[in-house]
Amino acid sequence: MAKISIVDLEVFYRVGVPDAERVQPQRLLLTVEMETDFSAAAQSDAIADTIDYFAVTQRLLKLGEGRDWKLLEKLAADIADIVWSEFKPMSVTVEVKKFIIPQARHVSVQIKKP
């Protein structure tokens, strides 16, 4: 088993419980860790034998277009479901960081599937 990580991908999504917080997209950082077996890719040097992290990144950058979420928990679960179903890792862990509390570096939620 091996892992492919996308660490602190900067995205701008509309997320927050109060309606006013969802008016404008806000900066979030996503970390996505995908466990997979890329031994075939290590031998073949072919992108088809692994998870294309560029494709994952592009999918996540566009995810927030025309959408909003109230809870970080729902957003993280949606991201995990998309990565799981579209890119087929053995497991996926998603962390979403939000910068809403001035006294804290960030708040975050994390989910792992399965």
Question: 53-105, pLDDT tens digit by residue?
Answer: 999 999 999 999 999 999 999 999 999 999 999 999 999 999 999 999 999 99
**Among 58, 4, 13, CA closest to 32:** 4
CB atoms within 10 A of CB 109: 16
Q: Give pTM, 2 decimals.
A: 0.97
> For residue 80, what are the CA distances in angstroms to 20, 30, 52?
26, 11, 16
The token pair at 73 is 């928990």
What is the C-alpha separation between 89 and 31, in angstroms, rounded?
15
Domain range for 42 is 2-113
Tell me how many domains the chain contains.
1
DSSP 3-state of 17: coil
DSSP 3-state of 81: helix
What is the C-alpha separation between 106 and 13, in angstroms, rounded?
16
Q: Which one-letter amino acid corresponds to residue 4?
A: I
Question: 4-14, pLDDT tens digit by residue?
Answer: 999 999 999 99
Residue 12: CATH number of its domain: 3.30.1130.10
**Among 7, 6, 30, CA closest to 89:** 6
Tell me which residue has tokens 């950082």.
29
